[in-house]
Amino acid sequence: MDAGRGTALPGRVAVVGGGVAGISAVKALLEAGVEVCGIERAGELGGLWRLAQDTAAYEGLRLNTSRPRTEFSDHPMPAHWPDYPSRAQLLSYVQEYAERFGVERHYRVNTELVTARRTPEGWLLRLAGPDGVSEETVAHLVVANGHNHTPRLPEPPYPGRFEGTVSHAHSYREPSAFAGRRVLVVGTGNSAMDIATELAEHAGEVLLSARRGVWVLPKRLLGRPTDQWNGALAAVLPWRLRQRVSQAMLRLTGNGRNRAALPASREGVLQDHPTLSDTVPALVAAGRIGVRAGVESLQGLRVRFTDGREDEVDHILWCTGYRATAPFLDPASVPDPARLPLYRHVFPLDEPALSFVGLMQSTGSALPVVEAQSRLLAAHLSGRLPRPARDRMLTAVTTELAAARERWGAKRPHMRLDVDRYLRQVARDLADRRDTTPPLAGRRVIVTGAAGTFGRALGARFTELGARVVGLDLVADDTGRTPVVACDLTDPESVTKGVEEAVRLLGGGVDVLVNNAGRGGPAPAELRPGGEVRAQLRLNLLAAWDVTATALPHLERARGRVVFIASRMAALPLPLAAAYGVSKRALAAYADTLRLEVGSHVGVTTVYPSMVRSPIHDSTREAGLSLDGVSRPEPIEGVVSAVVSAVTARRAPRDVATTRRGRVEMALARHVPALTGRIVRRTVAARLTAGAFDGAPLAEGLRRRAGRAGAAG
């Protein structure tokens, strides 16, 4: 990544940090085809959401941004989760995200980056891991270690000496340790409010010291999570006008500045970092939390506040934030990361082999921001998006910094960003360059019936789109681009072994299962079910059920997708092919039931093609029961595109028709079935009159009732 050329140096990229920023960066780089390794000093991924001594997490921690405003764009949170998920939920979400996209396999855990020294080749990393200390060189270093791990204490310290105990919010885990004690919580951020609320149930007395004014907002406003109002307004209004509208809404709903009897902020609601709490105002009003001014001095167990009041306390809990640090970098080159000028909050102006992800303080959730930063980084390091010239980057940074100071003052202006404005800016940057990343890059796909017409076409398309594909079919085949594992889909033992082998070939997981295997053939409904009927039910319905249930644990871990290829006949039944229509209708019913059971974690879609020219219809034609004149053929490419669209959609669609005519037919079948039945009967009668089934013994009953009993050949 030379500043003059604006291009990326070839070679491996190292990402430091295994939290949301690091995971997002590794995922984006992998999808862009960049060789990357992650470095995480803990034993698992998850960053600050892990409950461990080296994190700031506590058991009662909850998000202060709502679920839709927090989730990654390609990994929705379960719809049944609360508006503000818990720490444990977000940790599971982040770890599932890493597993789904194969990120964890590219991380070295229990490995600490001790130092990173710039060399002509890139960066010489000194690493301390399970096997001791080692050194290696990478071409590019991405700092994604977060900025909530170095506690910030009052500086300079308050005058006097406190003889009680003190701690920082970083070490807080649960409130029972403070049972019966008088605790002073210093700070008015979200952590201070949450901790004070928990302590109110256990401590003998809880005081909350507010050095400056603060906006305390409810978590829901007019029936919606509060942050969603600002998100909606951000699409159409500049921040100053947005602020006026927001403050008017708060006044009208009784949620203004003094809602919690805390000092009012001198700034507008969008010029400060508002605190979300429904409990603190009620606890203050009930006298269970006492509000105090800022600390002035300490003496023994007494704390004197700036308004002259004094209180005796046993413990001071500093909720005073964190310092942004990168201890492995040379302080001479990066003395204070929080004051580092970064183009788009990612790229240093004068160090082309260094980038940052997550070094920011956003007005909303960090997840969408680090996702956008990671895509920007991947576009650059893959060569699609060259660095702008230095003077252009400097102009952008200077303009942005001036705007940040105007809005937020001296409170970390280099790190500040408006989440909605920033996401729009990055989207414009990326839109300027054609995205050549395959839409299914890295996805792991199983296709049943992989040797058939549909299966081959699906395997080829998925592979072209960057997916790794393994097929299941009766006969193994490893000669093509899509390896096929031998599997009798109607034999449960064979299904178990086949799915296990497919998972192994895919590297230990599955993101997408396409239940494509199917069998057609003549089967009039008026005749007793014979071998053909049972064969179709076993393959079309029971086999899909068995394969899906076997693969489901992998799909659930990956938050994956299941696609069932049914048939228009599932909604628009036709005579003489009852086994096929019944099995496909049952398959659609199975998909609907599965969606109710696992839809919070696995997307379930049913695709409804019409007739495609393939060998599946041969046996029907040989029996003289071809319905070619009843159902209009469609190209296989359209069906494949419909399946791909279902797999790549942000949220799995429920039902997908493959043509415009198909959508009309399905709508008629569902909403006016009587009319649909009349249309089908009229079409079939016309085919009978034309002699289409005269040579078919299986159609004898149909001909007899139509007055053509003697027409059999």
Annotated catalytic residues are: 580
Judged by DSSP in three states, 360 sits in: coil
Q: Using CA atoms, how far apart are residues 70 and 63, in angstroms rounded to an integer?
A: 9
Parallel/antiparallel/unpaired status of strands 216-217 and 275-276? parallel
- Asked if residues 311 and 302 have their Cβ atoms less than 8 Å apart, the reply is yes
C-alpha distance from residue 168 to each of 179, 360, 661 (Å): 17, 22, 65
Cβ neighbours of residue 387 under 8 Å, at least 6 residues apart?
1, 3, 6, 7, 343, 347, 352, 380, 393
Q: Which two tokens stand for residue 229?
A: 């109002």
Secondary structure element (H or E) that encloses residue 361, with its range: strand 361-362
Q: Which two tokens stand for residue 302?
A: 């007494």
C-alpha distance from residue 550 to each of 172, 556, 589 (Å): 43, 11, 19
| CA 413 to chain CA centroid, nearest Å | 29
DSSP labels for 650-663? SS--SEEESSHHHH
C-alpha distance from residue 131 to each of 46, 138, 207 (Å): 23, 20, 48
- Asked if residues 544 and 586 have their Cβ atoms less than 8 Å apart, the reply is no
Produce one character per residue of 442-457: b if its CB has 16 or more CB atoms within 10 Å, e if not: bbbbbbbbbbbbbbbb
Q: What angle do CA 27, 70, 260 make, to 5 degrees?
A: 150
Cβ neighbours of residue 392 under 8 Å, at least 6 residues apart?
none
Residue type, 89: Q
- Asked if residues 166 and 315 have their Cβ atoms less than 8 Å apart, the reply is yes
